[in-house]
Structure 1
Amino acid sequence: MAGVVALLTDFGYRDHYVGVMKGVIWGIAPSVRVADISHATRPQDVFEGAFLLAQAYAYFPPKSIFVAVVDPGVGTQRRPIAARIGDYFFVAPDNGLLTFVIREGESRGWPMRFVHLTQSAYWLPQISRSFHGRDIFAPVAAHLANGIPLDALGPQIEDPVMLPIPEPSPEERGWQGQIIYIDAFGNLITNIQPHHLAGESDWRIQYKDYEIRGLVNTFGEGRPGDLIAMFDSTGYLSLCIVNGNAETKLSAQVGDPLRVLRP
């Protein structure tokens, strides 16, 4: 079954952690291809990790295996789990990292199956209290890549942990939303999606003391330094500074509210 194992963590690149996980995977499944989604998730930010995982997984080949490790509860009683959601496999701590993927699977009617990782035969022999990415999740992914069936890894569960996803609130003239992610360019991704705006572009976006009139389709429709609003590649409404950084210029933070109003 060897194919692709994709990694998403908050480990960064300064330390050895990511490289060690790859070494463990290749030691068990030498022919598997290992890809990196991101290792720059904000430390311990499970929601951000869940968002990034959902943005990436569907662009990989079917049967790809995703190892997501943003794990502030490592070493506690939180469960390690594996899952099949649609055509993909996931290995992660049971702390909500799969929330967005599960939501999409539910909306599309995909088959889903979850197991609690209890079969230590598929782990490393020694388990640390602080690095389950190396000791449990990486080896489990490698065994899946070698063709070990999901059900061999542990008993089925029906209650994976789900994070609350903030939904926009309807108002008389539009919606109140919030910033849910800020990317490396400083673009402010909100929880407003196209269906909330019914395909219309003539909206007013109010954020702090700023107002944006109308949506654009490309950065090129604004001048350098302009504050614009557009549905970007994430599929969500984003506030951006053309050739600039909206996070820095607007002192923005995840959780900040905004309003999207009809003219």
Structure 2
Amino acid sequence: MAIITLTTDFGEKDHFVGAVKGAIYTEMEDAKIVDISHSISPFHLHEAAYIIQNAYKSFPPGSIHVIGVDSELNPENKHIAVLMDGHYFVCADNGIISMLTSEIRPEKIVEINIHDRIISNFPVLDVFVKVAGHIARGGTLEVIGKPISEIKELTGIRPVVNNNESQIIGNVIYIDNYGNVISNIGRKLFESVGKGREFLINARSEKFNKIHTHYSDAINFEQPPEKREEDGKRLALWNSSQFLELAIYKSNPTSVGGAASLFGLEFRDTITINFISEGVKG
């Protein structure tokens, strides 16, 4: 039996998550359900896209990923099922999947059309669970939907490179549980544009000229503990998803604060990387 994952903005207080799981078990008693997150900020498509993009790859091929964020059916918010990178995604056509399709071409996309057979005002519970069950039992996408070739695009998920490739302009797309700030600037783009040049990262009043690969790389462990600059250490790094992240070493947003609050950065705020040409450097 395929694994079914759940990513929603339902939270833990209400009955929604439990009801969806109950509906899955009613469909398939031997189902394997994994919660990716139910703490997406309400209707926050970029958060959902970032989390599912970085979680699904750890699951085996054939896994079915149900995404319950902004999923109410209306004329501008259709429901889709997507086969991509060997995984299935069931969600609304609201732009969430476009963050994945910017890197990987979908093998198949269908617009779900079983709504006339289901009375529902809770599509994740009724429609998405039915679709996930159909796929888990070996059913094809064409049975539950009509093939389509295009899906909605999320705006602000791709950074911009200026004409002479001296600058990358990105945005904050996610703030994690530690208050660390994740941008949409990927390492592959940075290396392709930068070509080994020196650089300066600007995020409001914060500036960085070095990008680490681990949080602890910013700490000089050759010094004795009492002389190290650890508390409040600011750093830029390539996170585990290979996106540029601005962080505070061992931050705690509930006490001393995290990078988001201390740097004054919020979702969609601008982060720029300026590359320094050889002529300017001297």
Q: Name the TM-score, length of structure 1 as normaliser.
A: 0.89
Output the amino acid matched with 2:32: R
Give the C-alpha shift of residue 172 in structure 1: 5.9
Note the alpha carbon deviations across 1:68-88, whole angstroms, 9 max, x for none. 1111x6142221111211311
Note the alpha carbon deviations across 1:23-74, whole angstroms, 9 max, x for none. 1111111112000111111101112211211111111100000101111x61
Contact 1:203 1:215 (8 Å CA) reproduced: no
Partner of 1:192: helix, strand, or coil?
strand
Deviates more, 1:169-178 or 1:181-190: 169-178
Distance (whole Å) between structure 2 residues aligned to residue 76 and residue 173 of structure 1 = 43
Output the amino acid matched with 2:161: S
Partner of 1:104: helix, strand, or coil?
coil
Q: Tell whether 2:201 aligns with 1:205.
A: yes
Give the C-alpha shift of residue 137 in structure 1: 0.7
Q: Which residue of 1 aligns with 2:143?
A: 152
Distance (whole Å) between structure 1 residues aligned to residue 187 and residue 99 of structure 2 = 17
Output the amino acid matched with 2:149: E
Q: CA RMSD in A?
A: 2.0
Distance (whole Å) between structure 1 residues aligned to residue 160 and residue 247 of structure 2 = 19
Give the C-alpha shift of residue 94 in structure 1: 1.2
Distance (whole Å) between structure 2 residues aligned to residue 183 and residue 92 of structure 1 = 23
Partner of 1:217: helix, strand, or coil?
coil
Q: Which residue of 1 aligns with 2:111?
A: 116
Output the amino acid matched with 2:216: G
Aligned structure 1 segments of 4 or more residues deviating by more than 6 angstroms: none
Note the alpha carbon deviations across 1:108-140, whole angstroms, 9 max, x for none. xxx51111211248x6x4312xx2111111221
Q: Tell whether 2:243 aligns with 1:236.
A: yes
Output the amino acid matched with 1:114: I
Q: Tell whether 2:273 aligns with 1:255.
A: no
Output the amino acid matched with 1:113: K
Give the C-alpha shift of residue 202 in structure 1: 4.7
Contact 1:202 1:215 (8 Å CA) reproduced: no
Q: Which runs of 5+ in 1 are unaligned?
A: none
Give the C-alpha shift of residue 258 in structure 1: 2.0
Structure showing greater radius of gyration is 2
Q: Which residue of 1 aligns with 2:181?
A: 188
Instruction: Indicate the percent of aligned positions where both proteins have the same amino acid.
Output: 28
Q: Which residue of 1 aligns with 2:159?
A: 167
Give matches, 1:67-146, under 5 Å: 67-71=66-70, 74-77=72-75, 78-106=77-105, 112-120=107-115, 125-128=118-121, 131-146=122-137
Q: Which runs of 5+ in 2 are unaligned?
A: 219-229, 252-257, 277-282
Paired positions, count: 253
Residues 118/173 of structure 1: CA separation in 2 closer, same or farther (3 Å cut): closer
Q: Name the TM-score, length of structure 2 as normaliser.
A: 0.83
Partner of 1:155: helix, strand, or coil?
strand
Output the amino acid matched with 1:94: D
Distance (whole Å) between structure 2 residues aligned to residue 176 and residue 258 of structure 1 = 6
Output the amino acid matched with 1:169: V
Partner of 2:102: helix, strand, or coil?
helix
Residues 116/176 of structure 1: CA separation in 2 closer, same or farther (3 Å cut): closer
